[in-house]
Structure 1
Amino acid sequence: MTKFELRGVRADVLIGAEEREEILKGVDLTINSGETHAIMGPNGSGKSTLAYAIAGHPKYEITAGEVLLDGENVLEMSVDERARAGLFLAMQYPVEVPGVSMSNFLRSSVTSVRGEAPKLRAFSKELQGVMSDLSIDSSFAARGVNEGFSGGEKKRHEILQLELLKPKMAILDETDSGLDVDALKVVSKGINRAKENHEMGVMLITHYTRILNYVKPDFVHVFADGRIAESGGPELADALESDGYERFVKAGA
């Protein structure tokens, strides 16, 4: 049983060379393996800051609190050590890496996380199998990472990484943004597959309830003004869909 804990996490975003602004103002959250926690909230509430600060993005600095994965403080780890420990971040805006093929990138990533290089033939079979499950054409394996990909293709590539790396805890930052209905269903099936096959915990950051029709949350948390303002079950997402975030924006103003 994996336990992921945020205890009193506060974080700044760096603005320019010197200036900084506090975005996270004391976040407490516990996610166990096999659980899906949806993080919802208005724009500018700090949801993406939470994701990137946990992952170790240099633009964000955690100034107080702890981030624990099975009791180990990941804030004392480098970014690559966090990945090897079992953390995974699917980015809202995946970057292009021209000149590095998807297959080489993914095999290098798998080698780093698993601690040894998979046999080339076995990895090729594994890769093609997951690509097929995600409706990714096999020719994409030879293309540069995200180079010339549509928004939906980039998001499928993020879930391809998720399924191959088999993390303990996945942080998915607006994985549903920019997806049409068909792509949303494919991506959601990939998330559910990874969760079920590897007893993975999921922090699913989203604005909208549509992905929650396919990736069922166990808990829903409303994020406002840099902290969790309210928590509940799936019914809370339905209330947000109906009423919006107005009362939380006013409360945080």
Structure 2
Amino acid sequence: MSTLEIRDLHVSVETEDGPKEILRGVDLTVRSGEIHAIMGPNGSGKSTLAYSIAGHPKYQVTGGSVTLDGEDILAMSVDERARAGLFLAMQYPVEVTGVSVANFLRTAKTAIDGKPPALRQWVKEVNAALERLGMDPSFSQRNVNEGFSGGEKKRHEIVQLELLDPKFAILDETDSGLDIDALKVVSEGVNRFHARGDKGVLLITHYTRILRYIRPDYVHVFVDGRVAEAGGPELAEKLETEGYANYVKAGASS
């Protein structure tokens, strides 16, 4: 069993007016086999948490720790974090001109495993992953995300997840911009990954609709850079009916 442990995490970003603290002491533990949903209003720090764990240089960790099986993640470079078993599905996947999906995936797999996959078997695995996500095999010859629709970009993120096979998946608003059909396909991909048994998932979302297809074990409500409340799946149902207003009011008065 693996454990991703976040303790008293404080993170700032540089603004025109100087450093601004976004995360104000986050505590969170994700273990193998668990799905944790992070919910909250815009600007509450959900994406900051994701990118800070992944090592985005924009975000400055000013306090606290993030460990994976006891190893200090914050001391690692971005590629070392990936090799340690972390994966980030981005809210806004970027286009990479001149790099095909096939080359990108094989290069990433080689970097993580330390050796290139056997080509013939790898092509079969890529095509099978694309098919499971409802993407034609011809996508492997296109430039990464170039000309992809929003839904295709998000499906491609889950193709990467299935092929790279990390210990922990951090999914930053993977449901944003998806129609109902694409949402179901992407959710099925996440559930397949989780069903391997030794995988942890940190799912960041504004809305409860994806939680109809991906059942979380735990739900955490983020407000003003902190976990305002944590609970089981029933907490998502509470948010569906009541929204975030009470949490925002409580945060403003504290």
TM-score range, shorter chain: over 0.9
Contact 1:46 1:225 in 2 (8 A): yes
1:28 aligns with 2:16: no
Report the Cα distance in structure 2 between the residues aligned to 1:243 and 1:213, rounded to whole angstroms: 17
What secondary structure does 1:12 align onto? strand
- Taking the TM superposition and a 5 Å limit, the aligned residue runs for 1:1-253 are 1-16=1-16, 19-197=18-196, 199-253=198-252
How many residue pairs are counted as aligned between the two chains? Answer: 252
TM-score, length-normalised on structure 1?
0.98
Gaps of 5+ in 2: none
- Output the CA distance in 2 between the equivalents of 1:251 and 1:62: 26
Identify unmatched segments of 5+ residues in structure 1: none
SS of corresponding position for 1:58: coil
Question: Over aligned residues, Cα RMSD in angstroms?
Answer: 0.9
**Preserved contact between residue 168 and residue 198 of structure 1 (Cα < 8 Å):** no
Displacement of 1:198 in angstroms is 5.2
Identity %: 66
Name the aligned partner's letter for residue 53 of structure 2. I
Distance in 2, Cα, partners of 1:2 & 1:242: 34
Aligned equivalents of 1:133 and 1:126: distance in 2?
Answer: 11
SS of the residue aligned with 2:195? Answer: helix
TM-superposition CA deviations, 1:154-202 (whole Å, max 9, x none): 0001001000111101100000000011101100010011111252100
In the alignment, the residues of structure 2 paired with residue 112 and residue 119 of structure 1 have an alpha-carbon distance, to the nearest angstrom, of 14
Alpha-carbon displacement from aligned partner over 1:26-65 (angstroms, at most 9, x marks no partner): 0000010010000000000000011011111011011101
Q: Is the 8 A contact 1:166 1:198 kept in 2?
A: no
Distance 1:19 1:96 in 2: 31
Checking the alignment, whether the CA contact within 8 Å between 1:225 and 1:252 is kept in structure 2 is yes
